[in-house]
Each structure stands twice: as C-alpha cells, then as structure tokens.
Chains A and B, each alone.
Chain A
Amino acid sequence: EAGVAQSPRYKIIEKRQSVAFWCNPISGHATLYWYQQILGQGPKLLIQFQNNGVVDDSQLPKDRFSAERLKGVDSTLKIQPAKLEDSAVYLCASSLGQGLMETQYFGPGTRLLVL
C-alpha cells in the first residue's frame, strides 16, 4: 500500500516569497492533516480536513497560510508571504476516519527554509 506522498521534499525561499506544498494521502483516507514542526519541537496541527471540508483550522495563521483539499483527495498548503519563522518541516498525515482514536499515517514532510 502506498503511503502519504508529499512534494517537494525541500524548499528554500527568501522571505516575502510564496511557496506551496502538495500532499497525496493514502487512497480512501477521508481525513487529512497538515502539521508544522519547528526544529526541536513536536508537530503542531495547522488544519484538518474531513473529505473536502475543514474540520479545524484554529491554529492556522490565516493572514498568510491557506490550504485546500479540492475533491477530497489531494491537498495543497500555501504560504504567502513567507516569514523567517515559517522555517520548519511541514508534515501531511491522513487517517481512514475522523477522530482521535484513528491512527494517522505521516508523509515524509517538506523541509522549508526561509532566508
């Protein structure tokens, strides 16, 4: 079974530039999560989708971050404009159902460096 795919794996940009990350969850998984993991810290949930609807985006900095999951499959996370403090690994995860009793499967992450 293919796992969660993410691209790109690495991205280096200058501050105030824009960047987009892509995630393809495991086939059939209804729930998709985007996490931000700053070096030395645990992941922080940015947004959770159930199919193509947003379940929770309370920790998403909406002035610069946006995410969508058209057709309830792939998802993109965009940062515009990027700040230095956005340097982190952006992890995508998916689970079969909704709820915190579900096992989440993580992608390899996209490492972003903002200069």
Chain B
Amino acid sequence: KNEVEQSPQNLTAQEGEFITINCSYSVGISALHWLQQHPGGGIVSLFMLSSGKKKHGRLIATINIQEKHSSLHITASHPRDSAVYICAAPYNNNDMRFGAGTRLTVKP
C-alpha cells in the first residue's frame, strides 16, 4: 500500500465544472504539499498547508490532519487547468513521499 494515495487517477471534466481531487496519507505529517505538473514535466508548487484551508484564485486546498486527508478543489475549471496534480506528504524530517498523481483533462 502506498503511503500517499490519490483519487481519482484520471479525471475528465467539462469547462466550468467544479473539480475535487482527494489525497489520503498513512504517515504522520506536519504539512502537505499540492503540486501541478504540466505536459513536458514542469512542476509547480501550488499549496503547502498544515491545517484548515488555503485559497489561491480558483484553487482551494483543505486538510484534515486527524483524518489524514486533503482535498484540492478547482472552481470554474478551464482547459488550461489540464495537468497532473500531485500531493506530497513529509515522511520524516528529511523525506517526502509523493502520490502517483491525478491526471485532469478539462474539455472546452
């Protein structure tokens, strides 16, 4: 069993739809990262959160430390949001474990 599990693996949506990507982890952490990986490999850090909720534009990330669960939401999705979204959880002081990613395709 992976220490960081994401769902769904693949997600196709119509432009404008509300998107939710989930991340569950089995290791105790103090923070969780959400990353966006575009075709071609470039990775951008979206959020780093240790409690509650963070919002940046149309992106919202929430975390429940007790339940070891985090969600990434995209409101009013757009084709340019198409990418792989990866959550990453600190494993110990120096290591981070990554989920396999959720491939999002937003169709116009």
Contacts and interface: CB of A to CB of B under 8 A. Distances in A.
Interface of A: 37, 40-45, 48, 55-56, 58-59, 89, 91, 93, 99-101, 103-106, 108-109, 111
A58 B100 contact: no
B24 to A, nearest CB: 14
Interface of B: 4, 29-31, 33, 35, 40-45, 48, 50, 86, 88, 90, 93-96, 98-101
A56 B95 contact: yes
Contacts of A37: 41
A43 B42 contact: no
Contact of A91 (B41, B48, B90, B94): B41
Contact of A103 (B48, B95, B98): B48
B50 A106 contact: no
Nearest to A93: B43
A42 B4 contact: yes
Given A43-B98, A91-B41, A106-B42, A100 B86 contact: no
Contacts of A91: 41, 43
Contacts of B100: 40-42
Given A42-B99, A100-B90, A108 B4 contact: no
